[in-house]
């Protein structure tokens, strides 16, 4: 299955009034990165970056001034996503913006069944939270120390690692490594459990009447009775 893990940065929070100004995408094939990615900065076509958004991602109006508008890159984006599922953290936000941009240039919105929300997945796996991207990186031991500000490609890369971990990726890789090399890593933080010999046998659960009835049944079957071979 082909999936695109992606993130967006925007001029603000209103997907009807604000615009996407950055998109970062990572391609997965059968839940493994292929090495293909897409990263674009986009001119918001006259919309100014809100100061609150600027504080989050640091992308200025001056930086975006010479970048292409969405209509100029929509074909490149659509081609990269073609035939894939859309994977995003809090996908309602990112898909709301992406679908709004698609509608503005006359394209159909993305069908809901093609969208995978990693925030919803994290909430099912870790109902006590927290489940922000930073919190999930800490939970899975993913280095996000270089994430001083939000950035679409960096966040997509981190989310890719988180998503694979939530699907059991690291454990699968360790299992394959052990099979390929014929070696088993005996180091473990888990306590060793030793099962000793029972000091006294458990009392039988069958009554005397049940044992007698079973003996009668075996006698009727004769020498071919299974219990005579394995009794």
Catalytic positions are 150
Q: How far apart are CA 193 and CA 29, in angstroms?
A: 39
Beta-carbon contacts of 43 under 8 Å, excluding residues fewer than 6 positions away, are 21, 64, 65, 66, 67, 68, 69
3-state secondary structure of 16: coil
Rounded CA gap, 231 and 226, in Å? 8
DSSP 8-state assignment for residue 47: P
Angle CA 217–220–221, to nearest 5? 90
What distance in Å separates the CA atoms of residue 61 and residue 43, rounded to the nearest whole number? 8
Contact of 25 with 38, CB cutoff 8 Å = yes
């Amino acid at each position: 299955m082909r999936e695109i893990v992606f993130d967006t940065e925007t001029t603000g929070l209103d997907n009807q009034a604000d615009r996407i100004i950055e998109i970062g995408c990572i391609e997965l094939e059968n839940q493994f990165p292929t090495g293909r990615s897409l990263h674009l900065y986009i001119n918001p076509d006259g919309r100014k970056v809100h100061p609150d958004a600027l504080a989050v991602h640091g992308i200025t109006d001056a930086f975006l001034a010479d970048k292409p508008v969405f209509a100029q890159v929509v074909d490149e984006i659509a081609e990269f996503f073609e035939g894939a599922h859309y994977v995003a953290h809090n996908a309602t936000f990112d898909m709301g913006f992406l679908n709004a941009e698609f509608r503005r240039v006359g394209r159909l919105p993305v069908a809901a069944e093609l969208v995978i929300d990693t925030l919803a997945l994290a909430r099912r796996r870790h109902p006590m939270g927290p489940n922000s991207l930073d919190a999930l990186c800490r939970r899975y031991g993913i280095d996000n120390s270089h994430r001083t500000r939000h950035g679409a490609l960096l966040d997509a890369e981190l989310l890719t690692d988180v998503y694979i971990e939530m699907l059991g990726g690291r454990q699968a890789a360790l299992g394959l490594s052990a099979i390929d090399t014929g070696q088993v890593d005996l180091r473990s933080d888990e306590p060793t459990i030793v099962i000793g010999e029972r000091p006294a046998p458990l009392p039988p659960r069958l009554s005397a009447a049940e044992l007698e009835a079973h003996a009668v049944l075996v006698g009727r079957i004769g020498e071919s009775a299974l219990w005579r071979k394995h009794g």
